[in-house]
Every structure is written in C-alpha cells, then in structure tokens.
A and B are shown apart, each in its own frame.
Chain A
Amino acid sequence: TQLLEQSPQFLSIQEGENLTVYCNSSSVFSSLQWYRQEPGEGPVLLVTVVTGGEVKKLKRLTFQFGDARKDSSLHITAAQPGDTGLYLCTADGGSEKLVFGKGTKLTVNP
C-alpha cells in the first residue's frame, strides 16, 4: 500500500503554462515536504509545510497543505524549462521513517 499517492505521474507542458501536481494520502501527517530531483542528481528540498491549510510561496511555486493535513498541492505559475524535474512529496511514515511518493515527472518544453 502506497502511503503517499502523487498525481499526475507524468506531465509535459509548454513554457509559460500553469500546472498543479498533487500529493494525497489517507493518513494525517504532522508535516510534509516537497523535493525536486533533476536528472543525475539527488532530490533537493523545496519546502516543508506544517500547519493545516498552510500556503507557502517560493517564487513561482505555491505549496498548500490540506486543512486535514492529509494532502498537499504544488502549483507552478508560468512554468519554465528550468522547472523540469521529478517532484517528490514525503512525510513521516512512522517509526522515524520518511516515506516518499512515486513522484511527478514534469517536463517543460521551450
């Protein structure tokens, strides 16, 4: 059973478009993190959300934590080719283990 479900699995868009990716679960989390992984590199932390309903912005990226702290979304405005990568959400799976979703592979075409 996958603790964190990410959708869509793949997303290919043109530069300048907006997009939203999702991270859903039936479990409640104390916090949730988003990472971005570029080809040939390890994941890099983008943001941590802690409070239900919290919204955090990182330039053109907007992250929201669901009110019930079971889900999260990442919205990118005016996507650029540099946004291309694998977006991973992760949360505490219990027993001090961070579990990852399977990721959304985003491709932004020039």
Chain B
Amino acid sequence: DTAVSQTPKYLVTQMGNDKSIKCEQNLGHDTMYWYKQDSKKFLKIMFSYNNKELIINETVPNRFSPKSPDKAHLNLHINSLELGDSAVYFCASSRSSGTGNSPLHFGNGTRLTVT
C-alpha cells in the first residue's frame, strides 16, 4: 500500500512548456509538502499546505503554483518551464505541520528534465 504517491515518476519536457505533478497521500495526514532536490542532493522546501490551506511559501518563482483540492492531494503546476527547473521534486506529508514530533513521509519523487 503506497502511502504517498506522486505521478509521473519521470517527466521530460521542453523549455517553455507547462506541466503538472500530482501527489496523493492515504495516511490521513493534515499537512502536505513539496520539496525540490537539486543535482547536489540538497533538499529544500517549496510549499506546505495544512488542511488545504497554504502554510509555507518559500521564495519560489511565481511560475510554480501548488493546488490542494482536499487534504489528501497536493498538486504542483509549473508554467513556462526553464532549464534550471530540472530537479527531483518530492511530495511529502506529515500528521501535523512543522517540527520533529511529526515526521515526514515522502513519495518516491518526480525527476523533471527540461531540455
């Protein structure tokens, strides 16, 4: 049983295109996240939602827009893709927002390659 699932696993697209990544969790968690992992494996938070409400919005270009239709889903839409957007994007969820008392459960990542 997959706890946090994201699709697609691989996404290859050209500069300027618009693409979406979907994420679903079946853990009953209230909080969901998007993280970006660059080529040096540095994992950085982009967004978090708690019960469909945006909690964290890091310094991310406006081309990135998260959408949470319900607390089990958090999708990421990216407009006008650029070469620098190439990375692995991880969705995660936790029982509540923030701290170490509520560990993160990650999906297996979406490897985005922009050519």
Q: Please indicate whether A and B come from the same complex rather than being unrelated chains.
A: yes
Write the residues of chain A forming the contact surface with B, with a CB cutoff of 8 angstroms: 29-33, 35, 37, 40-45, 48, 50, 86, 88, 90-92, 95-100, 102-103, 105
- Closest residue of chain B to A47, judged by CB? B103
A88-B45 contact in complex given A48-B103, A97-B98, C-beta closer than 8 Å = no
Bitwise interface map of B from 77 to 92 toward A, beta carbon under 8 Å scored 1, else 0: 0000000000000101
Q: Are A96 and B99 in contact (CB under 8 A)?
A: yes
Stretch at the interface among B14-22, B61-69, B106-114: B106-114
Bound-state Cα–Cα, A91 to B103, Å: 10
Distance (whole angstroms) from the CB of A29 to the closest CB of chain B: 8
A33-B103, A45-B104 known; 4 new pairs, CB 8 Å cut-off, are A30-B100, A42-B92, A100-B42, A102-B41
Report whether A41 and B43 are in contact in the complex, using a CB–CB cutoff of 8 Å.
no
Query: Is A98 touching B98 in the complex (CB atoms < 8 A)?
Result: yes
Q: Which single residue of chain B is at the shortest CB-CB distance from A94?
A: B98
Q: Once the chains bind, are A43 and B100 in contact (CB under 8 Å)?
A: no
Complex Cα–Cα for A100 and B45 (A) = 9
The CA-CA distance from A50 to B42 in the complex, in Å, is: 24
Which of A43, A44, A92, A105 lies in contact with B99, CB distance below 8 A?
A92
Q: State the CA gap A31–B41 with chains docked (Å).
A: 23
Knowing A42-B92, A102-B41 are in contact, say whether A96-B97 is a contact too (CB < 8 A): yes
Q: A44 to B98, Cβ gap below 8 A?
A: no
Indicate which residue in A30, A42, A95, A100 contacts B107 across the interface (CB closer than 8 Å): A42
Smallest CB-CB separation from B91: which chain A residue?
A42
Decide if B109 touches A40 in the complex (CB within 8 Å).
Answer: yes
